[in-house]
Structure 1
Amino acid sequence: MLKPARIFWMLATLCLAGSLLWAAAQWSERNALAQLRTAGQHRLDVYTGSLRNAVERYTWLPFVLSSQRDLADLLRAPQDTLQLERVNRYLKAVNNAAQASAIYVLNAEGLALASSNWDTPQSYIGNNYAFRPYFQQARAGAAGRFYGVGFTTQQPGYFLSYPIREGERVIGVVVAKVSLEALERDWRLTGERMLVADRYGVAFLATDPAWKWHTLGPLPAATLNEIKQSHQYGRNTFARLELIKQQTIDKSTLRASLKSGTQQADMLVQTANLPDLDWQIVLLTDLATVQQGINRVLVGTGLGLLALLAWFLFWRQRRRRIRDNIRASAALKQAHDQLEQKVAERTDDLLGANVQLQREISDRIRTELDLRAAQNELVQAGKMAVLGQMAAGVTHELNQPLTAMRALADNAKLLLERGKTSAVAENLVFISQLTERMGKITGQLRSFARKSDNRSEAVLVKQSISNALLLLEQRLRQQAVLLNISQSDEQLRVKCNAVRLEQVLINLLRNALDAVQGKADACITLLVWAEAGRVKISVADNGAGIAPEQLASVFDPFFTTKPASEGLGLGLAISLSIVRDFCGNLLASNRPDGGACFELELLAVQEQDA
Structure 2
Amino acid sequence: MKKHVFWLYIVIFIVSSLSIWKGGEALRNQQIKELRIDSFEQLNQLASVLESAIAKYQHMPTLLASNDRVSKALRDGFESDINQLNRELEQINRITEASDSYILDTDGLTIAASNYREDASFVGRNFAFRPYFKDAIQGKPGRYYALGTTSNRRGYYFSYPVYEGDSVIGVAVVKVDLTQFEKRFANQHYEFLLLDPDGIVFSSSRSNWLYRVLGELSHTELQRIADSQRYFGKSIEKLAIVYQKPFDEKSQEIDMLENTLINGVEVLQRQSFLRMSRPIRLLDFKISILAPLKTINEEISLWRAIFAGGVTITGLLFGLALLRSRMLRERSDANEMTRHNQAYIREVIQNTQAGLVTLDEHHKIESFNPAVEKLVGQPLAPLVGQPLDMLFQPYDKGTPVASSQDDLLTVANDLGIKVLTCEGYLCYSDQAVAVEMTLCQMQLPNRLSYLVTFHDMTERKRFEQDITQARIELEERVKERTFELQDANTRLRQEIEEHKGTQRELIQTAKLAVLGQLSAGLNHELNQPLTAIRAFAGNGLKFLDRGQYEQAHVNLQHISQLGHHMGDIIARFKVFARKGDVQQGPIAVQTAIMGALKIMTPRYKEVGIELVVAEDQDFIVNGDMVFLEQVLVNLLANAADAILEDSNNERRVFIKQKATQDQIVICVQDTGNGLSEEATKHLFEPFFTSKSSGLGLGLGLSISQRIVDVMGGQIVAQNLTKGGAEFCVSLPRFKHQSSQSLIAEEP
- State the TM-score, normalizing by the size of structure 1: 0.44
Structure with more of its chain in helix, by fraction: 1
- The structure that has the greater radius of gyration is 2
